[in-house]
Amino acid sequence: GENVEQHPSTLSVQEGDSAVIKCTYSDSASNYFPWYKQELGKGPQLIIDIRSNVGEKKDQRIAVTLNKTAKHFSLHITETQPEDSAVYFCAASRDSGGGADGLTFGKGTHLIIQP
Amino acid sequence: EAGVVQSPRYKIIEKKQPVAFWCNPISGHNTLYWYRQNLGQGPELLIRYENEEAVDDSQLPKDRFSAERLKGVDSTLKIQPAELGDSAVYLCASRVREGRNEQFFGPGTRLTVL
């Protein structure tokens, strides 16, 4: 089955600086890679995703890059703000057209924005 | 549009007792997932439904866990009997079957087994 590794487990950055979280996956059949943000006591919230036919995707301050050959993908947050503080999860799954498999998640990164 | 609804939000039970969690997915979402999230970990898939059919229950501990999705809408996840190691957050997610991949999660049910 799929295995997703995520680093670092904790990341502390100064407000206004950039944050980068990296993930690797093992199953070359995986073709969908979402990122979720989870705040305390809440369910994961999708913030951005990318499919395997795209190398990069950006949405305002958030961007995701994918390297299929190396089987790794990264989340980039620029101009960090206090409200970006949360736990971030990367995930991977296969969508065969007949329905998407369940997501395999990384262990999460606790992002701390220092004022 | 209402999100995924789960109840109860919190549940505390003694070990060996039964417990059930309920999920109402986003209207029109054919695919429903149950995940378990242990403290400090990412969610792990328990079961996936396509309409009323369980198409992937390989990770569901079938000796004590059961699930159903009658009429392909609401779903219930049950544990009987609960063990100390079942303490976790149980998350429900739903997705439109065709086209978009996004899974939308509910707030979860936090289970504490004493």
Per-residue pLDDT of chain B (114 residues; tens, 9 = 90+): 689 999 999 999 999 999 999 999 999 899 999 999 999 999 999 999 999 999 999 999 999 999 999 888 999 999 999 999 999 999 999 998 666 778 999 999 999 999
Q: Is B102 in contact with A41 (Cβ distance < 8 A)?
A: no
pLDDT in tens, A10-59: 999 999 999 999 999 999 999 999 999 999 999 999 999 999 888 999 99
Which residues on adjacent β-strands are paired with residue B90? B36, B109
Q: Is some CB atom of chain B closer than 8 A to the CB atom of A47?
A: no
Q: Which residues of A touch B35 (CB under 8 A)?
A: 102-103
* B101 → closest Cβ in A4, A41, A100: A100
DSSP state of A93: B
Is A58 at the interface with chain B, CB within 8 A?
Answer: no
Whether B43 sits inside 8 A of A105 (CB atoms) is yes
In chain B, which residues have their Cβ closer than 8 Å to the Cβ of A107? 40-42
Rounded (5°) CA angle B93-B89-B58? 60
Sequence-distant (≥ 6) Cβ neighbours of residue B92 within 8 angstroms? B4, B6, B21, B23, B25, B32, B33, B34, B35, B75, B77, B105, B106, B108
Q: Does A48 touch chain B (CB under 8 A)?
A: no
Is A95's Cβ below 8 Å from some Cβ in B? yes
Which residue among B33, B105, B106 sits closest to A102, beta carbon to beta carbon?
B33
Instruction: Report pLDDT digits (tens) over B79-100.
Output: 999 999 999 999 999 998 666 7
Rounded Cα distance, B101 and A51, in Å: 9
- For chain B, positions 19-38, list CB contacts with chain A under 8 A: 31, 33, 35
